[in-house]
Each structure stands twice: as C-alpha cells, then as structure tokens.
Amino acid sequence: MKKPEKNPLEWIVFALGLALVLSTVGYLIYDAATLGDAPPTIEVRAGAPVRRPHNFIIPVSVINHGDRTAEGVEIEVVLKSGGEELERGEFTVPFLPRRATREGWVAFRTDPLTAERVEARVAGYEEP
Amino acid sequence: MSPTVQSLQEYARGIAGGLLFSLPLLYTMEVWWAGFTTHPLRLLGYVLVTFTLLLGYNFYAGLRHDASFAEVAIDSVEEMGLGLLIAAIMLLLLGRVTSDMPVSEIVGKIVIEAMTVAIGVSVGTAQLGGADDGGSGEGGGDGASDAGRRGGKKAQTRAGKGRDEINFGGQVVIAICGAVLFAANVAPTEEIVMLGAEISSWKITGLAGASIALAALILFYSDFVGARELCPTGSFSGILIGATITYAIALVSSALILWFFGRFDGTAMITCVAQTVVLGLAATLGASAGRLILQSR
C-alpha cells in the first residue's frame, strides 16, 4: 500500500477527527453498558413561592431518575389547608429524557404562604 | 496554490455541503427528540452504518479517484469528525444543547444530527468544487489524470482507470447514500407515521408503481446528468430491471431509517410496510437522481 500523501493541516484535522469519533463511540459503548432498564422515575421539587404583581408563582424542578425518557409529563401542584384544597396549578413537560432536569413554574391567585401544605406531584406520562 | 490552502478550501466545501444536505434535519424537532429517546446501542449502529457508507462513497465517488484504502479511511474519519463538530456547533447555536442537560442527551442529539452532516461533508468535498480551480488537493497526484478529471468531460473522467468504471457494487453503495440523504430529511417527521397509518392499500400500491416509474424516467428517459454512461438505454427488460433494483435499494434504505427512528416499535406489519412505501418515494428520488448527481463529475 502506498503511503498516504497528506499535508500537516490534514494530519491535524485527521487527528482531531479521530479523537472526536473515538470518544463519541467510546461514550456510546460506555453508556450502553451502564444503562439500566428502570422506567421513568420522576421526582417533583417545589421551590419557595415568589410574589409577582398579578399572582404568586412557585418554581418547580422535575427530575427523571429512571433510565427511560418520559413524554407529556403532567405536573400538578396543590395548595392545601386543613385537608381542603385551596387552589391547584398544573403544567406539562413535553419531554423528560433520562437523568434530565426540567424547570417550570406554577401560578396561583392565593398566597401559597397562607396554605398549610404545598403538594407537588407528577400525575402521569407516556413512553415515547 | 499551496497544499494547505487547497485543503482549507476542501474543508470549507465540506462544511458547506454538510450544512446544505442536513439543514432540514438540524431544524426538525423529531430528530432532537430521537437524540434522547434512542438507545445508545442503536446510535452506535447508526454511527457504524454511516461510517461504512462514508467509506463506500469516498472509495467509489470521492475526490481522490486513485486513493488507497488508508486514504479513504482517513478521509472518512475526517468527515465524520467534521460532521460531529458542525452538528455540535449548530445545536449549540440553536439552543438545542445546553450545559444543564445530561451528557447522554447532548451526545445523542449531536450523534443523530452529525451522521447526515458527515455524508453531506463527504458529498460537498467531492462535488461542490469548481471545475477549473485545480483544488483537487491531491498532493503529488499526477497532473494528467488530474486535468482529465477536472476537464468536466465525463467521458474523459471515466475513461481508463480501473475504479472510475464504477461497478455494480459501487452503484449500489452510492444509491444507498443518495437514498439516505434524501429520505432522512422526511423520515423522522410525524407526517410519515400519519401517512402510514391513514393510507389505503390501493394508494400504497399506486405509490409503489409511481416510485418505480419515477426511477425509470430519471435513469433512462430524461437525459439526466451522468445517466448516459451509467444507465445506457437498453432493452425494455433492462430498464425494468434497473428501475426495480433502484426501487429495492430505496425500500431497504427507507425501512432501515424508519427502524432506526423507532417507527417500527410496537407497530403493525402493514403500517410498517405502508410507512416504508410512503418514504420509499423520497428514497427512490435519492437512489436514482441523487445517485447520478452524487457522482456527476
């Protein structure tokens, strides 16, 4: 086989390309080897309420601890006092990839600080 | 012109080609989603198949017609690296990749976009160069063959040299490249799923017939670029065989792409076939017209 004719620039690009391709392939192999099969396991974390001019909003983090992606994740946050529901806020996360975190806000007319409890939960989701 | 400038021009053409051919995919949300819903093993398979296609395309229709296998492999690695880089930069600029995403999501999105970009880079490097720039980047390539190839006369181009007489296997490889390049632009969209689910059996049959007719028309009856040497008009049976083989390649390519994007998961057999035929029309265009364009010089 004849020796490939390349100038230094081409060798540099080749070296960088090889490094990129090998690390990508390496990562995919590593990921495939370590990936489990746990269904979406979703944690919902409500933050501290914030007062805005027209309403009150609560930041919500949605975290998928599972090994599969969840689609159409419905999040609902309920303000409760004495076992009674004061107000309810909802939003939907279109896609929640495995190990990913998405942020959202729920809005209320009632001041969440007047409620005894703030319950945040995931209502449901589908497998893409 | 110095070899370095020539190489830089080649890379610039590659970047242009990569973006030209893959832009619809970079702007399609179903492709971003596939980046994180696809299992890493399937992504790995996608990378390997694309690399094989790159090797095949560079070997049969690449810029350096007299390249050794080592050079073809080096070029393919360069093109795949460029593809990954371009995809990463574009996704970053479009805000589809951000630092708060898990690594698996970032890598998935980049890989899934980069593969078509890489084929585009390869095609761009080989096909988009000016005919008289002498920018073949052939290093010490012999001037005579260079001039012959750059003369723009296809008859001259194909004359003499062993590999320039592209054989059946080479045509199949380039046809697959064309089919993938064209079909991949519509394959990941929801529209294919919808069409596959709603279409009637008679219309599927009609689409299949139209695809074969289209292949015959492009390859044998339209004096298409390069068609005269690659598909000389022969007997009716020859035309039928040529069109049918082209359509078969198109169907296999579209089935593979659809399977890759998870369109066959939990889907009834008939719907899979319907989707394949619907996408097969796009793939046929790629396997016939695309194939001729991809090696038109």
Q: Which residues from A are below 8 Å from B46, CB to CB?
A: none
**What is the pLDDT, as a whole number, of residue B153?**
36
Share of chain B above pLDDT 90, in %: 60
- pLDDT at residue number B266: 87
Which residue's structure tokens are 């909003």?
Answer: A57
Cβ B221 vs Cβ B250: under 8 Å: no
Under 8 Å CB-to-CB from B225, ≥6 apart: which residues? B292, B293, B296
Q: Which is higher by pLDDT, B110 or A82?
A: B110
A22 part of contact set with chain B, CB < 8 Å:
no
Q: What is the C-alpha to C-alpha distance for residues B37 and A64, in angstroms, rounded to an integer?
A: 13
Which of B11, B101, B110 faces A13 most closely, judged by CB atoms? B11
Q: Per-residue pLDDT tens for B12-47?
A: 999 999 999 899 999 999 999 999 999 999 999 999
Contact status, residue A64 vs residue B37, Cβ threshold 8 Å: no
Task: Give the containing element (helix H, strand E) for A117.
Answer: strand A117-126
Contact A95 B33 (CB under 8 A): yes
Q: What whole-number distance in Å separates Cα of residue B202 and Cα of residue B123?
A: 37
Is the pLDDT at A111 greater than 60? The verdict is yes
CB contact under 8 A, A97 and B70: no
Question: Higher pLDDT residue, A88 or B297?
Answer: A88
Main-chain dihedrals φ then ψ at residue A98, nearest 5 degrees: -60, 140
Which pLDDT score, from 0 to 100, does residue B76 have? 94
Distance from CA of B37 to the nearest CA of A (A): 6
The length of chain A in residues reads 128
Of B7, B69, B70, the CB nearest to A7: B7
Burial class (CB in 10 A: 0-12, 13-18, 19+), B209: exposed
* Mean per-residue pLDDT over chain A, rounded: 90
Structure tokens, B292: 């001729």
Contact check, Cβ <8 Å, A99/B102: yes
Q: With beta carbons less than 8 A apart as the criterion, state whether A4 and B139 touch.
A: no
Q: Are B214 and B284 in contact (CB under 8 A)?
A: yes
Contact between B33 and A128 using a beta-carbon 8 Å cutoff = yes
Which position has the higher pLDDT, B144 or A18? A18
In residues, how long is chain B? 297
pLDDT at B136: 42
Instruction: Report chain A residues whose CB lies below 8 A from the CB of B79.
Output: 17
Q: Give CA–CA dist B6/B29, Å, rounded.
A: 36
In this complex, the residue of A2, A9, A29 whose CB is nearest that of residue B4 is A9
* Closest-CA residue to B15 (of A13, A96, A66): A13
Please tell me the pTM assigned to this model.
0.84
Encode B83-111 in three state secondary structure: HHHHHHHHHHHCCCCCCCCCHHHHHHHHH
The partner residues of A71 in beta bridges, in order of sequence, read: A95, A126
Span B87-138, pLDDT tens digits: 999 999 999 999 989 999 999 999 999 999 999 999 999 888 876 444 444 4
The ipTM is 0.83
Amino acid at A71: E
List the single residue in B with minimal CA-CA distance to A69.
Answer: B37
- HEC letters along A11-48: HHHHHHHHHHHHHHHHHHHHHHHHCCCCCCCEEEEECC
Cβ contact A51:A75 at 8 Å? no
Nearest to A4 among B71, B80, B104 (CB): B71
Residue with tokens 């298409």: B224
Q: Which residues of chain B have pLDDT under 70?
A: 131-166, 297
pLDDT category of residue A4 using cuts at 50, 70 and 90: low
Interface list for A 57-86 with B (CB within 8 A): 69
- Put simply, whether A36 touches B (Cβ < 8 Å) is no
Mind listing the pLDDT tens digit for each residue in A43-66? 999 999 999 999 999 999 999 999
Residue A36 has pLDDT above 50, yes or no: yes
CA–CA distance, A30 with A23 (Å, rounded to integer): 10
